[in-house]
Amino acid sequence: MTEWDEMDLLLGDAEEMSWQERALCAQTDPEAFFPEKGGSTREAKRVCLGCDVRSECLEYALEHDERFGIWGGLSERERRKLKKRAV
């Protein structure tokens, strides 16, 4: 790996983190985004509705196959349905 490759990786990580740092959930109780099975997702989804990086969050979750929690305003089940429709 060259120095340029390493720099690209670092810059990529910095860009990826920038949306996460701007996310409203970063300023909220994280437990709301990972409710117990059968628990309410309402509070987390309400936060997501007002979040400027909602689409980046959802894209990240879909690309990284996040299986738990609320990402981009969608539950794991909702993300699975979205993926199925896209195929």
pLDDT digits (tens, 9 = 90+) for 25-65: 999 988 999 999 889 999 999 999 999 999 999 999 999 99
Output the pTM of the full model: 0.76
The share of the chain scoring above pLDDT 70, in percent, equals 80
- DSSP H helices, the chain, are 3-22, 42-49, 54-63, 76-86
- Whether 48 has a binding-site annotation, put simply, is yes
Residue matched to tokens 């089940």: 77
* Mean pLDDT of all residues in 66-71: 95
- Whether 25 has a binding-site annotation, put simply, is yes
Single-letter amino acid code for the residue at 43: E
* Mean pLDDT of all residues in 10-29: 76
- Whether 79 has a binding-site annotation, put simply, is no
